[in-house]
Amino acid sequence: MGFDVTFWGVRGSTTCSEPDYMVYGGNTACVELSLDGREVIIDAGSGIRELGKKLIREKSARATLLISHTHWDHVSGFPFFAPIYSRHAVLEIYASPQEEMDARAIFEMQMSSPFFPMPIHSVPSSLIFKNFAPNDEFFLYDGAVKVITAPLNHPNGATGFRIEYGGKALAYVSDTEHIQGREDENVLKLARGCDLMIYDALFTEEEFASHVGWGHSTWQEAVRIAKKANVKQTALFHHFPEHNDAAMRVIENTAKEALSSVFAARERTTVSL
């Protein structure tokens, strides 16, 4: 059984295209899970553009998108995701309703005047929108893939996912803010014993002190959760736009000293579980 995880966008908040961001990457959140030919994509930040081109090249006609929340950095790539313009593509898009708008209405708004010239109803692909509520569990691909969700601590809300397939588990925990000194049962539920945890490590602990309430966490908290929940590998994710490659190298090395199974996610790299 194959469970391959590819990072197409690892940056948080906004894209960074400066040359000193090219080692870790400047595209925003998008992670591809290849599960023996079954495509599951988490978030549609700017990184999904390159993934879309790959799917077109491979003639992959079916994919499922799980959207953690609809802040720009998690959906900005959706109108530039090539499969939505292919009449062969069938895309299931799971998102949590926001402000009384269901999944379809949110994406309709994104692809409408004055934000975007082409309305979503004019694209030739089959887009199947599915709503879910926090803590829902559901299956994809005729029961082969299990998805467990939990609400995260983030302004406007966000959802964390645990995806189980072929005896392996991945936890995607972005965007979330920890409360110092308190365990987050929702995060632990997703992370417990998983093979890879992708965790919002936007800030260092020093930076976090002046950013309480922003809805993001730290690499130090990632290490604490990984130890507590017996996580096998941890990917620091949603990198701060203020952290260029030199800063990211220091963060990654320091985190590795605290726990050797931690690494900082780099764009266009694949981890096989």
- The residue from 43, 50, 175, 221 that contacts Zn ion (CB under 5 A) is 175
- Helices (DSSP H) in the chain: which residue ranges? 48-57, 72-75, 103-110, 185-191, 205-208, 219-228, 245-258
CA distance 187 to 154: 13
Q: Which stretch binds Zn ion (CB under 5 A): 47-55, 93-101, 133-141, 174-182?
A: 174-182
Nearer CB in complex with Zn ion: 2/155: 155
What value, to the nearest 5°, has the Cα angle with vertex 52 and ends 159 and 43?
Answer: 10
Starting at the edge strand found earlier in the chain, the sheet holding 4-9 runs: 126-131, 90-95, 62-66, 38-42, 30-35, 4-9, 269-272
Stretch that binds Zn ion, among 115-123, 173-181, 188-196, 248-256 (CB under 5 A): 173-181
Q: Which is nearer to Zn ion, 95 or 140 (CB)?
A: 95
If the CB atoms of residues 12 and 140 are measured against Zn ion, the closer one turns out to be: 12
Contact 176, 155 (CB under 8 A): no
We find the least distance from the C-beta atom of residue 130 to Zn ion, in angstroms, to be 21
Stretch that binds Zn ion, among 6-14, 105-113, 163-171, 256-264 (CB under 5 A): 6-14
Query: Closer CB to Zn ion, residue 73 or residue 252?
Result: 73
Least separation in angstroms between residue 107's CB and Zn ion is 16
**Under 8 Å between Cβ of 46 and 9:** yes
Q: How many CB atoms lie within 10 A of CB 220?
A: 18
Nearest approach in angstroms of CB 70 to Zn ion is 9
What H or E segment, with its residue span, contains residue 129? strand 126-131
The footprint of Zn ion on residues 34-73 (CB under 5 A) is: 71, 73
Q: How far is the CB of 109 from Zn ion (least distance, A)?
A: 17
166, two tokens:
């072929």
What are the Cα distances from residue 47, in Å, to 31, 110, 144, 212, 255?
8, 17, 26, 27, 25
Q: Residue number with the shortest CB distance to Zn ion? A: 71
Q: How far is the C-alpha of 231 from the C-alpha of 238, rounded, in Å? A: 19
Please name the residue ranges forming H helices in 116-199: 185-191
Residue with tokens 């887009």: 127
Q: How far is the CB of 65 from Zn ion (least distance, A)?
A: 16
Q: Give me the least distance between CB of 215 and Zn ion, in Å please.
A: 6
Of 132 and 172, the one with the shorter C-beta distance to Zn ion is: 172
Least distance in Å: CB of 175 to Zn ion? 4
Q: Which is nearer to Zn ion, 86 or 153 (CB)?
A: 153
118: its two tokens: 């082409």
> With CB under 5 A, what is the number of residues at the site for Zn ion?
4
Q: Is 200 in the site for Zn ion (CB under 5 A)?
A: no
Closest CA to 24 of 10, 12, 14, 38: 10
Least distance from C-beta 58 to Zn ion, angstroms?
A: 28
Q: Which stretch binds Zn ion (CB under 5 A): 11-19, 35-43, 94-102, 204-212?
A: 11-19
**Closer to Zn ion at the Cβ: 12 or 77?**
12
Residues that bind Zn ion (CB under 5 A): 12, 71, 73, 175
